[in-house]
Amino acid sequence: MKFFVDTADVDAIRELHALGMVDGVTTNPSLILKSGRDILEVTKEICSFVEGPVSAEVVALTADEMIAEGRKLAEIAPNIAVKVPLTWDGLKTCKVLSGEGKMVNVTLCFSANQALIAAKAGATFISPFIGRLDDINMDGMDLIADIRQIYDNYGFDTQILAASVRSANHVTQCALVGADVMTAPPAVIKALASHPLTDKGLEQFMKDWAKTGQKIL
């Protein structure tokens, strides 16, 4: 499973990239706001060192305006994935931009039918939001499983990009159910290395090592 980092914080991306944990990056208007930077400037910087897809989201609501914004964003770098909402106008935009050879990430997906029509419109990625479904007492992982089965049934090339990933457990479940990609904040990716038994074991090793009175360096 590929790891995308869901942030516009360049320093955080660089840290994870140095460890080989970054296969791509996803951003959205909220993350751009949090970064406090110009969307074109920060996206260009991210693309300068991240080789994989970098999602940059349109903010228009009509197809013609989305297409124009998408083309502008795609000019930033060859690895830009234009991010569009799963609306009828978003699907029109997806069809046009994917037809031009651009990567398109269709976002805010909450049903298998939405994922199906996004694939038919040529989406490179479909982004089902796990956490937001969990928030309304639905199982977001069930949606990932349904999309996986539908895409496999008909040989769609659209990659399932699990989004709104909020915990290490979400990551495990995404990998088990067969998501192609998951995108998560840096803190969630770092949490994958944590386990209380690791901490406990290391603490004991350090106590025993101190008793030996030895040094390695």
The predicted-structure confidence for 64-111, as pLDDT tens digits, reads as follows: 999 999 999 999 999 999 999 999 999 999 999 999 999 999 999 999
**pLDDT for position 28:** 95
Q: CATH homologous superfamily for 2-212?
A: Aldolase class I (3.20.20.70)
The CA–CA distances, whole Å, from 104 to 44, 63, 98 equal 17, 14, 6
Please list the ranges in the chain whose pLDDT falls under 70: none
**pLDDT for position 176:** 97
The catalytic site residues sit at: 83
Which residues partner with 6 through β-bridges? 26
- Give the CA diameter of the chain: 72
Q: Give Cβ neighbours of residue 51 (< 8 Å, ≥ 6 apart).
A: 79
Q: How many angstroms separate the first and last alpha carbons of the chain?
A: 39
